[in-house]
Structure 1
Amino acid sequence: MDRTALDCFIALAEELHFHRAAERCHMSQPAMSQQIRKLEHELDVRLAHRTKRVVSLTPAGEVFLTEARKTVRQMELAAELAQRTDRGEIGQLTVGVTAPALFVVFPEIARRFRQLLPHVGLVVRELTTAEQERSLMRGDIDVGIIHPPLDEAALHSEQIGRVAYQLAIPQDHRLARRESVTLADLEGEPIVIFPRQIAPQIYDTVLALCQDAGFTAKIAMEAFPAQSIIALVASGVGMGFIASETQRLARTGVVYRPITGPAPHLSVGVAYHVDGVAPAAQTFLAAAREAGAAIR
């Protein structure tokens, strides 16, 4: 049973005239008659009585008309849903996001994306950059918000924003009285930092910048996420590196100061498979680029 036969029957049932029904379906009258006979043969039932002047539906035809209209409407809906899904207007997108990016840029990306595609749901998975690389290669996520660069040649990544790290300092520490600090001020001071596996390149950059400032970083503890680093700073364990003002959680006993001079920065980027991305993912990437340009 195909759509053409159903359309022909519905037109005949509503026009009760073969010539008018044929014109409505943009076909010849013999072709229209053939479609009706084909449908009756397939159903093994008479749908209409025909004379030279009069067409009327049989009781079976009356019942079938109601269901045929429902079927056509359902077919139209199915086609529309398929087309909208293909265009990326509905469905869902699975996105990987690093923990720092969840605070720094993801809320703005998600807000822009919802404005553009309100009927596409976001499934968010908090993953490190390395975990996102593996997930993108397996197809477990559609796009990732990462800290570039990546190792996988089959993945494309691009930086969308860059934010400076700030220092979380115990409120009673001597450096808390300053408006800003330098990395050289941290010589001999205990430091609380995120684990290297979270963002290896940034971790190594922090240590290298400390070396350039003339000392070896004294790592008292590694902690994750930002709330844990801030809590440890509040307890006096050491100074903590916090990415951007968005991670500056209000906490008694902690103050935040910018780092002047050479300082580490958090690079935020997007990643996807070089084979291409679906339309919804393309819209997400556009939202990410727009949001990333505004972060600091």
Structure 2
Amino acid sequence: MARPELPLAQLHAFVVLAEELHFGHAAAHLGIAQPPLSQQIRRLEDKVGHALFSREPGRVTLTPAGRELLPAARRALTDLADGLAAARAVGSGQAGRLRIGFAASLALTILPDLLRTFGQRFPGVHLDIREMTTAPQITALHDKAIDIGLLREPPAGEVELGFRTVLSEPFVAVLPATHPLAAGTVQLAQLADSPFVLLPRAAGPQLYDQITGLCTAAGFTPHIVQHAVEWQTVCALVGAGLGVSLAPASIRRIRLKGVAFRRVEPGTARTRVAVAWRKNDQNALVKHLLATVSPNPPDRP
């Protein structure tokens, strides 16, 4: 047999009367007249099937059934109040969970300050941080597996996603410390005969094409002998003597033994870091994160 539902207004009236033990005082506390309060209590007693209060002239007391119901009624009202407060916090972007994908190299640049600032402004928000290269981030945004992406070289032609550039940086040559060119600035054409270590194109097609395009503009096609998904691994392989690479300048902060980072000429090319989001996402946390990245309203390209 189905349990009868207890309207919250009746439970509230019951709890107030149980605390006041006086119909007049309880009605005044609730801001209603005494007859409607009596009706609420009667309806609740009908649902329970037993009297909740013993009514005597000038005196109201809880019955055993009333004493049994009181703790559960208080818990129900408290749970409801907590649930409403939590829903309001999530709806306003003061609480909840925000899933952020980020390119590993950004841990060397904007990511720490961004997370620190956002955490200070919204301490009630749980940040779910996921290390991902650019292409998987784009897929995860479309699949709604993440809410925000921090990536390099956003793809062109995306209709559903918005992008805003938050950082640009030049490229550096990554060389074994014993390499003949490790002493100074590197002319890109000087790397024409060197084997290359690069990220696989599938990890970030735009960045891969930009790097190989720079080599083409310098008059050669890079001879790629090894791929690695993360820049730290790329640098480690360069340090092991497997080849050279071109990388964003922030990679210099890795400081691996046996690796030299040198300025490249021509030095006009730069790699972009962008924040990415779904344009139709109504999540207030996404808007707060975008405002934390930049004080300006989010661009909608």
TM-score, length-scaled by structure 1: 0.88
Q: What residue number does 1:58 align with?
A: 63
Q: What residue number does 1:235 align with?
A: 240
Measure how far apart 1:38 and its partner are.
0.9
Q: What residue number does 1:184 align with?
A: 189
- 1:245 and 2:250 correspond: yes
- Give the number of aligned pairs: 289
Residue ranges of structure 2 left out of the alignment (5+ in a row): 1-5, 296-301
Task: Work out the percentage of aligned pairs sharing the same amino acid.
Answer: 34
Instruction: Kindly provide the amino acid, as one letter, of the partner of residue 259 in structure 1.
Output: V
Q: What residue number does 1:125 align with?
A: 130
**Whole-angstrom CA distance in 2 between matches of 1:108 and 1:246:** 17
Measure how far apart 1:102 and its partner are.
4.2
**Whole-angstrom CA distance in 2 between matches of 1:190 and 1:127:** 26
**Whole-angstrom CA distance in 2 between matches of 1:188 and 1:116:** 51
**Whole-angstrom CA distance in 1 between matches of 2:73 and 2:121:** 36
Q: What residue number does 1:293 align with?
A: none
Give runs of aligned pairs for residues 13-24 of structure 1, distance below 5 A: 13-24=18-29
Measure how far apart 1:272 and its partner are.
1.5
- 1:269 and 2:274 correspond: yes
Q: What residue number does 2:299 align with?
A: none
**Whole-angstrom CA distance in 1 between matches of 2:52 and 2:173:** 81
Instruction: Kindly provide the amino acid, as one letter, of the partner of residue 84 in structure 1.
Output: A
**Whole-angstrom CA distance in 2 between matches of 1:263 and 1:236:** 28
Measure how far apart 1:6 and its partner are.
1.6
Conserved 8 A contact 1:227-1:249: yes
The one-character-per-residue Cα deviations of 1:224-270 (angstroms, maximum 9, x if unpaired) are: 31122112221222222232335532222211112243354221112
Conserved 8 A contact 1:142-1:277: no
Measure how far apart 1:206 and its partner are.
1.9
Partner-residue secondary structure (3-state), 1:36: helix
Q: What residue number does 1:175 align with?
A: 181
Partner-residue secondary structure (3-state), 1:108: helix
**Whole-angstrom CA distance in 2 between matches of 1:146 and 1:27:** 59
**Whole-angstrom CA distance in 2 between matches of 1:82 and 1:165:** 46
- 1:31 and 2:36 correspond: yes
**Whole-angstrom CA distance in 2 between matches of 1:284 and 1:261:** 35
**Whole-angstrom CA distance in 1 between matches of 2:259 and 2:137:** 33
The one-character-per-residue Cα deviations of 1:124-151 (angstroms, maximum 9, x if unpaired) are: 3333323222222222221212231344
State which of 213, 216, 225 in structure 1 corresponds to 2:221.
216
Conserved 8 A contact 2:231-2:251: no
